[in-house]
Amino acid sequence: MSAEKSVSTIRRIKVLLAKPGLDGHDQGAKVVVRALMDAGMEVIYTGLRQTPEAIARMALDEDVDVIALSSLAGSHIPFCTKLKPLLEANHLQDKLWVIGGNLPAQDHDALRQLGFAGIFPTGSKFDAIVDYIREHVK
Amino acid sequence: MNDRAKDELKPITNESGIEVKPLYTAVDVEKSGGLSMLGQPGEYPFTRGIHRLMYRKQPWTMRQYAGFGNPADTNQRFKYLIANGQTGLNVAFDLPTQIGLDSDDPLASGEIGRVGMSVDTLRDFEIAFDGIDLNKITVSLTINGAAAILIAMYLAMAEKRGYDVKQLRGTAQNDILKEFIGRGTWIFPVEPSIRLVGDTIEYCAEHAPKYSPVSVCGYHIRESGANPAQEMAYAFCIAKAYADDVIKRGLAVDEFAGRLSYNFNIFGNLFEQVAKFRAGRGLWAKIMKEQYGAEKPGSMWLRMIAAGGGGGLTFEQPEVNIVRGAYYALISALSGTQTMALCSYDEAYTIPTEYSARISLRTMQLLIEEMGLTETVDPLGGSFYVETLTNQMRQKMEEIMAEVDAQGGIVKLVSEGAIQSKVSAQAYRMQRDIESGKFRKVGVNCYRNEKEEEHPVEFHPYNEKDTRVQIAGLNKIRAERDQARVTQALARLSADATSGRNVMPALVEAVKAYASVGEMTNELVKIFGRYQEPIRF
């Protein structure tokens, strides 16, 4: 846990929180932005309607530690399928990829295979998200 | 109650920030302003209901939100709901349609037919409403960014089927200002977006005077984090912004205000919700009469759909949402709504199955057939608590509206992202309170199942084939239609959008020529540009 490390030795965790595709539900994304900021992280929130290309570019340009998606309208699998090769092409596979939102359990394996190890379905707690990021950021 | 007992009570404040007492008497009613805004049902200020006999004469319309896949799939679901006693339709569109993309647009890939039915051209409407009598079943279109186009399409479809558009009833959501606050299916920048809403109101006032071109939504503002008093106050501010735009064009308030309608949310404290609706009816009537000089009673009516809100339902123990829905429906009936809808118990997971949609429908029918909710108007009227709270909620709403005005008005605050930031901060505090257990939510932070069981939720299948079918249909239309007529119609649309003329006649013409949603949207984007979302925390 990062709490055991000396604060001065770790740089602030930087998160890109993106809204993929056409989904307009941003209440969840916005509250998670606030929770991560309150936990001391630096958060770049993309706003709605980001393409896979835009997300990969921002993740690279901003040199983030975490690439987080919030998806509630059901298109997470096709979207992540498009995003994965773009993140890899930008050599971002060593970053932490996480996803939250309306993510049925039956899709979790597919999301893990697409590189999204941290999966936070609706109902996940802020602490669970924050702890996971702190533990898994390299 | 003696003083000692009072001292031992922890103060309780409702979500709107009003302190709730353990007991109310006539003194509280008097202190909160008395019964001067009560009146009689069907009479100004309509606190007790907009009609004299309310449900005794006709029960509320039942209008479940439905739509998915291709128009043919949706047509089947519509017919199923109607066969089960639903009395209105509420159409869900997929995201590409909602933001003006054709099904073959690369940005639409993976989203066709997913959260609603996909619509490219008039042909899709012809299929979706095939066999449905539009005079018997009123249709509500849940469409906002692309509303002007879809309203034109609905009117054209009805006309083509031989209906007299002057007599046609129905509703479009068409509330773009709330889309900037929550829901997010905007297309154009704020100013031209408001102009388009104004165009639809102005056009319908003349050509489809019984059609309701706008349903102003407190619903989604509440879902985004607003409290119940803010939900209604912000909705009124938004409705005023649309009314102001139309009045600037020279229309008299009584020429259009009777067709403005509302969409509100129901979850949370029962009494606060009932008081919200009673208070809102009185306040809206007062605003229309005193600020706008409305004379027709219809112009002062708060006509609404009150819908059992998704924001109250839980992912945990989804079956319990059936019971929540039943209480929301009860609140809706006690509130004197015109139309009712319920999010189904599985809606936190998926598009409702026929089974879960039917349970929602039966929930509302129970209230009509077994519980006596249609027999007496405003049954909670006269309760010391409800009357006091109604007065207090109305005062709260007035304060919030005054605050919006003092800060430069709703259009400015939405353009800057100030309202978005405010409600999102509240949503965050609420989520914190739920996680800490301060705000109780059954199955979430109390009474959790020891072992999370398999939830009895059946996922709505997404069919990849729908996309191919939809695009093939669009290509067929493009090949068969009179291209010269389309080009001419789109040129007229562009010219009218540029000159500031009402774009609705041009849209109706373009729709009839089978121009696509994407083609019409793109013409308007060329003139209006695209909205840039302000990011503010």
Which two structure tokens, joined as six digits, stand for A88?
A: 């890899």
Record: contact B349-A104, CB cut-off 8 A? yes
Return the number of other C-beta atoms located less than 10 Å from residue B488's C-beta: 14
Using the Cβ of A40 and the Cβ atoms of chain B, whether some distance falls under 8 Å is answered with no
In this prediction, residue A1 carries a pLDDT of 42
- B315 in Cβ contact with B348 (< 8 Å): yes
Which two structure tokens, joined as six digits, stand for B396?
A: 């709260």
pLDDT in tens, B143-157: 999 999 999 999 999
Record: contact A22-B95, CB cut-off 8 A? yes
DSSP of B137-203, one letter per residue?
SEEEEE-STTHHHHHHHHHHHHHHTT--GGG--EEE---HHHHHHTT----S-HHHHHHHHHHHHHH
Interface test with A, best of B107, B115, B445 (most A CBs within 10 A): B115
CATH of B44-401, one of 3.40.190.10, 3.40.50.1860, 3.10.20.30, 3.20.20.240: 3.20.20.240
DSSP symbol at B375: S
N- to C-terminal Cα separation, chain B:
45
pLDDT in tens, B173-192: 999 999 999 999 999 999 99
pLDDT in tens, A56-84: 999 999 999 999 999 999 999 999 999 99
CA closest to A80 among chain B residues: B110
- Residues of chain B in contact with residue A25, where contact means CB-CB under 8 angstroms, are 183-184
Using the Cβ of A30 and the Cβ atoms of chain B, whether some distance falls under 8 Å is answered with yes
> Quick one: pLDDT band at residue A9, thresholds 50, 70, 90?
low
CATH of A12-125, one of 3.40.50.280, 3.30.365.10, 3.40.605.10, 3.40.50.620: 3.40.50.280
- B77 in Cβ contact with A46 (< 8 Å): no
pLDDT in tens, B230-288: 999 999 999 999 999 999 999 999 999 999 999 999 999 999 999 999 999 999 999 99
In this prediction, residue A24 carries a pLDDT of 95
- The reply to whether ipTM tops 0.95 is no
Domain ranges in chain B?
Answer: 44-401
- Residues of chain A in contact with residue B315, where contact means CB-CB under 8 angstroms, are 121-123
Phi and psi at residue A114, to the nearest 5°: -85, 5
Domain ranges in chain A?
Answer: 12-125
- Residues of chain A in contact with residue B185, where contact means CB-CB under 8 angstroms, are 24
pLDDT in tens, B348-359: 888 899 999 999
Using the Cβ of A34 and the Cβ atoms of chain B, whether some distance falls under 8 Å is answered with yes
Give the number of C-alpha atoms closer than 13 A to the C-alpha of residue B521, restricted to the C-beta side.
22
Between CA B47 and CA B284 the distance in angstroms is 10
Using the Cβ of A16 and the Cβ atoms of chain B, whether some distance falls under 8 Å is answered with no
Interface test with A, best of B423, B533, B536 (most A CBs within 10 A): B533
Give chain B's contact residues with A (Cβ, < 8 Å).
95-96, 98-99, 101, 107-111, 114-115, 179, 182-185, 223-225, 314-316, 348-350, 424-425, 427-428, 431-432, 435, 444, 459, 462, 533, 535, 537
